[in-house]
Structure 1
């Protein structure tokens, strides 16, 4: 059962969400799509989450995840502290941090434990979604994609056409790899909302990332964070296929690695000389290299802060140009 008033997050996700999440195997190979329409509906004193899917894949993953003619529908205990999923389709819970929900739940039909992150960006009318699916600690698959919200999809032909165009665009973009500008120098800049471990908002942080390619697969990055988080660090990043790594020259440098699944990159970065690390999920969300980032910050081995926002890209110049031999 729920309280008589929906949570802040429940109010933020009112409407029907439409998406075409990509499906990847554990190595990062794109295997197809899962066409989804879904909504979380607050009625009376109950919240019900429903989801209709079309699992457009073949082979092993389809055999595992396709449940034909099955409408997912499960009760939710809704609050701003926890969103508890009561089955039968999913059993577990999610933690809201403002417009972000970080969830961990089990799917009996898929025999998978899911670690799912949803971030609503109201100014863009989208939800940036990802799920890591596990057997124990073994990664089985990854789902990720962008959802767009509507309030009148069933009755408005213009809305239906807009969603159809959006899904066509997603079909083209969804399997593109997480590759940052290859030859162009520039800067990402944005404002992150910051929450503490009690899910309380503690303020905003301004993030500036100066980026300079040093080869077609490497770049040097300087990061400055001010406000609710005060930190400066740097790293050299390297990409080999969908494997990413970070290194530096000692104190003040980040070291770590990550793996991308299409447009989404999961990474862990450790700050040299401090008990400080960042677990990050980054997603390229448009054709202008805007990055939606979610940081889980750990201090002394304990979760300390959750920060998230959108970094907008500004190109300054092309630094890798045609070479000649005299």
Structure 2
């Protein structure tokens, strides 16, 4: 029997088996919501080949539609599948993806869209979701952002109950997708959870417990203390503020900024006095304040850790209350 005929799919390929359904939002470069792109997609392992297909319905208006609408053409491209690198062989996308467990961080080029994409997908089995985002560039210039949640099915074509479940999920996504990334305005509290931590060679090192204390000091700013214990063991504090969709991190321990595109916030945070930074993508998963966080640590400009997980919000007391002036 040939080596090719006994080839097994990668761990990530096994994890994404099935047909995924989503209604990703489309944002312009400034963060304005412009519409949706309804998507069905799957990565199919057959014999010694992996084929990725995607059917899209670009429900959008304005200049981005002319660029990204495929007029019903189905995306279909070959993938060299492995747990080291997933290589995309065209014609629709050319580039590669780098798996870290259930996360894949991809960078590839779309000839049809003339954009270079950074796409991050994280599967959350406990939530039944895939948390997706794409940043689309011309060289280093951002031109658009796609993001949204996906659910997976195994029998969508034949099961009316599954079809109804998907339609209900997509309707919920349409309602939630343009909500802005705004953290609690008047209540203090904590985010608690655990990150998986991978090194620069994509090896799982273990876990890190995450505790984030959060206290609003105004309607658009808060004091934050982050405590990490485990594989990554450190604590740091900062004042964060928000003006519309622009977020700032104002020391004393980290400085940086970020921009939100709906429920998704991308940021870069530089540690004071160190050659260390975090580049993050944080996603508000629901109205309860649940955060899906992906933090990429860089030391001396080189990849150090890729850490990710879900953080649950535990509200505390209301610290911004009505004020009064005595007559």
**1:105, 1:143 → 2: CA distance?**
15
Q: Which residue in the other structure is 2:263 paired with?
A: 263
Matches within 5 A, 1:6-25: 6-25=9-28
**1:2, 1:317 → 2: CA distance?**
61
Q: Which residue in the other structure is 1:281 paired with?
A: 281
Q: Which residue in the other structure is 1:315 paired with?
A: 315
1:26 shift after superposition: 0.3
**1:181, 1:286 → 2: CA distance?**
13
Equivalent in 132, 135, 139 of residue 132 of structure 1: 135
Q: Which residue in the other structure is 2:226 paired with?
A: 223
1:221 shift after superposition: 0.2
**1:169, 1:324 → 2: CA distance?**
40
Instruction: Provide closer, same or farther for how the CA distance between residues 3 and 267 of structure 1 changes in structure 2, counting only shifts above 3 A.
Output: farther
Q: Which residue in the other structure is 2:106 paired with?
A: 103
Pairwise CA RMSD = 1.0
1:123 shift after superposition: 1.1
Once the two structures are overlaid, the 10-residue window that deviates more, 269-278 or 90-99, is: 269-278
Equivalent in 236, 240, 246 of residue 237 of structure 1: 240
1:276 shift after superposition: 1.1
Number of residue equivalences:
323
Contact 1:2–1:47 (CA under 8 A) maintained in structure 2: no
Contact 1:106–1:114 (CA under 8 A) maintained in structure 2: yes
**2:147, 2:80 → 1: CA distance?**
25
Q: Which residue in the other structure is 2:299 paired with?
A: 299
Q: Which residue in the other structure is 1:173 paired with?
A: 176
Runs of 4+ that moved beyond 4 A: none
**1:322, 1:153 → 2: CA distance?**
51
**2:285, 2:33 → 1: CA distance?**
17
Deviations 1:238-265 (A, max 9, x none): 000000000123xxx1100000000000
Normalised by the size of structure 1, how large is the TM-score? 0.98
Deviations 1:273-322 (A, max 9, x none): 11111000000011211000101101122111100000100001111111
Q: Which consecutive unaligned segments of at least 5 residues does structure 2 have?
A: none
Once the two structures are overlaid, the 10-residue window that deviates more, 299-308 or 1-10, is: 1-10
1:3 shift after superposition: 7.0
Contact 1:39–1:51 (CA under 8 A) maintained in structure 2: yes
Q: Secondary structure in 1 aligned to 2:163?
A: helix
